[in-house]
Structures are given as structure tokens and as C-alpha cells.
């Protein structure tokens, strides 16, 4: 019998001192088959005195007595992990993944370092040249609702971004079924996405715009946000994406405008969504006339969305809500890990506990 069928999965987390890393710890501590064997800092936190995780996040007092140590591939490999989560900056993930994959561990990367097949995306949108383009062809995009069949054989899983998750899940079925109207040149009319994220989406580093007395509702990255190509790639349609910073700690609400093809009705849209997501436990469809709120999903791995159609003009409005740190990062990563190792996808994610 395979050891993994009877023993806990040995888990290492790199970037445990950040918000997504801490969320991974919180989820994996309640996972029935996970054993956290090592915590490591991202490259930005490797220097300085070693700290226990509870010194960084006091909510872990009495729950996990592990230090957060420097992210050195040899030290991580020495723990013989079955899975390594990289909650690290893009460049750090790109450097760490290759040596870790050689140990036989499954690597789940929460950065954007392996989300694209085309290495040319990285200097254009992320400001660095990719030095491991060979790995881009092997990475599986870790959105289980769309790529579940590819996950069991994956060695490298590129966990989707937060904004993209909130947009791809509602848009991809419409694109697949030809629901989006075309312009006079035969091109799909671009959906418009206005999305607002809590401040945790900007990470834990100190920035004036993220300070309690400074943060305010405002757009940023207009027409140049790095999540735009990810949304377009995996939704299957070019979009107009405008992110906003909201004065709350966590969560994303995306409002999406779509011009539908002439033969699409409200009933046809509902039938499509119900058929697509009927057996997806982490996608919840709102009843007619109901739209989701961030409070509905905060601390959970759910993506909730509702919609309304102006049938006279064929204008569909969709509102989707996720927790950016859970379904938009750590929860999605654990869901993908569960699918990768043949476990129940809900393990660690369905007990409803939320420790701030």
C-alpha cells in the first residue's frame, strides 16, 4: 500500500509570514490528512532573527510551535515534504520551484510565476525575465472547477490569482457556450469587469496607501493590471478589467457586464450556470434577484455569484464574491492539493471555522 494512502501528507509552507501563508496554516491545521512539517519565510523575510509563527501571528498561540526559517531549498527538501506551498513573490517562486520539483514533491505556487505558457508575458506584465520557461509547459492551472482532470498527475500547480478566480468562474461557461455577442469584425465583445478587493490583497508589507487612516475606495492599475492577461487567458475572452482598493480587510466583489448573443435569455443563462456548477460544492449560485456580499463568503472557500439580464438590450450583469485569501489564494491551493492527491476536496475547507 502506498504510504500516502495511510499516512499524513507532509507539508512545507514557504512564505508563512504573509497573509496567504498564514491562511494556509489555518486551513491545514484542521485538515485530517495534513501534517505541517516546516515553515519558511519568503525572500523578503529571510534576514533577521528567527521567529515562531505565533510571534508573527499571535492567533496561532498554542496551535503550532514551529519557527519560520530561511527559505533554502536544501532545508525544505530535508523535511521530505509531499507538497510544498509557495506563498512567495513571483521571482522567489520561479527560483525555488525547480530545485523543489527535483525532490519529487508536488509544488503549489500561489504567485503568478507559472500561470502562463508564454514566457514573454513575464517581462511585459511582471517585470522579470522567466529563467525556467521549460516548467511553464508542465504547470497545471489550479482552478479545480475547470481543470480538475489535469490535477491528479500535476507536479507543479499554478494556483490562480484572486481577481481572476472571481471573473473566470462566471465568464468561462458563457464563452464556452458562445453566449457572448460579437462585434462587426466577428470578435467577441469585451466583458467589462469592475472589481474591488480588501487591503490584504496588497500583502503585508507597509505601504502608505494601505494604512488605516489612508486607505480609501479608489481604482488602480487602470488598463495595465497584471491580472488582465490571466483573466483573458483562462476565461477565453479579452476583457476590460479595472481593479479597486476597498477600505476593508479581505474579500473581493466583482461586477461583470456582458453583452449577450441575440438568442440568449435569462432562463438560458440560468440553465447554463446550473448545469455547469450543479456538482461544484464551492460555487454557489444566488437565487433570482439575490446578489452576493463579501460578508457571505468571508473566511470561506466559496465563490458566490448572482446575475440579472436586461433582455431588451441583451445586457447581462453578474456579481461575484470571494474571500481573496481563501478561494482567491490559500483555500484554492488546498482544494487543488486535495484533488492532486485524490482526497476529498472539502477537507480543511468545510468546517466553517474562521480564526482571524
Cα torsion 223, 20, 157, 37 to 10°: value is 160
The whole-number pLDDT of residue 355 equals 45
Backbone phi, then psi, for 50, in 5-degree steps?
Answer: -70, 140
- In tens, the pLDDT along 291-318 reads 999 999 999 999 999 999 999 999 999 9
How many Å apart are CA 210 and CA 224, to the nearest integer? 20
The CATH class for the domain spanning 3-138 reads alpha beta
Whole-number average pLDDT of the chain: 93
Q: Is 102 helix (H, G, I), strand (E, B) or coil?
A: coil
How many Å apart are CA 332 and CA 327, to the nearest integer? 5
Query: Does residue 3 carry a pLDDT above 60?
Result: no
* Residue among 106, 165, 21 nearest 339 (CA): 106
The whole-number pLDDT of residue 319 equals 98
Backbone phi, then psi, for 133, in 5-degree steps?
Answer: -60, -20
- Tell me which DSSP letter residue 143 carries: -
Query: Does residue 43 carry a pLDDT above 70?
Result: no
The whole-number pLDDT of residue 356 equals 45
Cα torsion 24, 102, 160, 350 to 10°: value is -40
| Catalytic residue (choose from 106, 162, 298, 303) | 162
The CATH class for the domain spanning 163-324 reads alpha beta
Position 206 confidence tier, pLDDT thresholds 50, 70, 90: low
How many Å apart are CA 188 and CA 355, to the nearest integer? 43
Q: Is 106 annotated as catalytic?
A: no
For residue 103, CA distances in Å to 45, 156, 280 come to: 24, 12, 33
Span(s) in the chain for CATH 3.30.360.10: 163-324
The whole-number pLDDT of residue 265 equals 97
Q: Is 34 helix (H, G, I), strand (E, B) or coil?
A: strand
With a CB cutoff of 8 Å and minimum separation 6, the contacts of 296 are 302, 304, 321
Query: Does residue 331 carry a pLDDT above 60?
Result: yes
Distance from the Cα of residue 121 to its chain's centroid: 19
- In tens, the pLDDT along 212-231 reads 777 788 999 898 989 999 99
The whole-number pLDDT of residue 294 equals 97
The single residue listed with the C-alpha cell 466559496 is 302
- In tens, the pLDDT along 80-127 reads 999 999 999 999 999 999 999 999 999 999 999 999 999 999 999 999
Position 5 confidence tier, pLDDT thresholds 50, 70, 90: low
The 3-class secondary structure across 215-252, one letter per residue, is CCCEECCCCCCCCHHHHHHHHCCCCEEEEEECCCCCCE
pTM score, whole prediction: 0.94
Query: Does residue 1 carry a pLDDT above 50?
Result: no
Lowest-confidence range among 50-59, 71-80, 139-148, 166-175?
50-59
Q: Which three cell numbers stand for residue 55?
A: 510571534
Span(s) in the chain for CATH 3.40.50.720: 3-138
Q: Rounded mean pLDDT of 322-347?
A: 98
Amino acid at each position: 500500500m502506498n504510504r500516502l494512502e495511510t499516512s499524513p501528507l507532509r507539508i512545507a509552507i514557504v512564505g508563512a509570514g504573509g497573509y496567504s501563508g498564514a491562511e494556509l496554516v489555518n486551513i491545514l491545521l484542521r485538515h485530517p490528512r495534513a501534517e505541517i512539517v516546516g515553515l519558511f519565510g519568503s525572500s523578503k523575510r529571510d534576514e533577521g532573527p528567527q521567529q515562531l509563527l505565533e510571534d508573527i501571528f499571535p492567533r496561532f498561540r498554542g496551535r503550532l510551535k514551529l519557527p519560520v526559517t530561511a527559505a533554502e531549498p536544501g532545508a525544505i527538501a530535508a523535511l521530505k515534504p509531499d507538497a510544498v506551498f509557495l506563498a512567495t513573490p513571483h521571482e522567489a517562486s520561479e527560483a525555488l520551484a525547480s530545485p523543489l520539483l527535483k525532490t519529487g514533491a508536488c509544488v503549489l505556487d500561489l504567485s503568478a510565476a507559472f500561470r502562463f505558457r508564454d514566457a514573454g508575458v513575464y517581462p511585459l506584465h511582471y517585470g522579470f525575465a522567466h529563467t525556467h520557461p521549460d516548467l511553464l509547459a508542465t504547470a497545471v492551472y489550479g482552478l479545480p472547477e475547470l481543470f480538475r482532470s489535469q490535477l491528479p498527475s500535476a507536479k507543479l500547480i499554478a494556483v490562480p490569482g484572486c481577481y481572476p478566480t472571481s471573473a473566470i468562474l462566471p465568464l468561462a461557461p458563457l464563452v464556452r457556450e458562445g453566449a457572448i455577442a460579437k462585434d462587426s469584425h466577428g470578435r467577441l465583445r469585451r466583458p467589462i469587469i469592475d472589481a474591488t478587493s480588501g487591503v490584504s490583497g496588497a500583502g503585508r508589507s507597509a505601504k502608505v496607501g494601505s494604512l488605516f487612516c489612508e486607505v480609501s475606495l479608489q481604482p488602480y492599475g487602470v488598463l495595465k493590471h497584471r491580472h488582465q492577461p490571466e483573466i483573458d487567458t483562462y476565461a477565453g475572452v479579452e476583457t476590460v478589467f479595472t481593479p479597486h482598493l476597498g477600505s476593508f480587510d479581505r474579500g473581493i466583489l466583482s461586477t461583470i457586464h456582458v453583452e449577450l448573443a441575440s438568442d440568449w435569455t435569462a432562463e438560458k443563462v440560468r440553465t447554463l450556470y446550473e448545469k455547469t456548477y450543479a456538482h461544484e460544492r464551492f460555487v454557489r449560485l444566488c437565487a433570482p434577484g439575490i446578489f452576493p456580499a463579501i460578508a457571505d463568503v468571508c473566511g470561506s472557500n466559496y465563490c458566490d455569484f448572482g446575475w440579472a439580464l436586461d433582455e431588451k438590450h441583451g445586457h447581462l450583469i453578474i456579481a461575484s464574491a470571494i474571500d481573496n485569501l481563501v478561494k482567491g489564494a490559500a483555500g484554492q491551493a488546498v482544494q487543488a492539493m486535495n484533488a492532486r492527491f485524490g482526497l476529498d476536496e472539502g477537507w480543511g475547507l468545510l468546517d466553517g471555522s474562521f480564526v482571524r
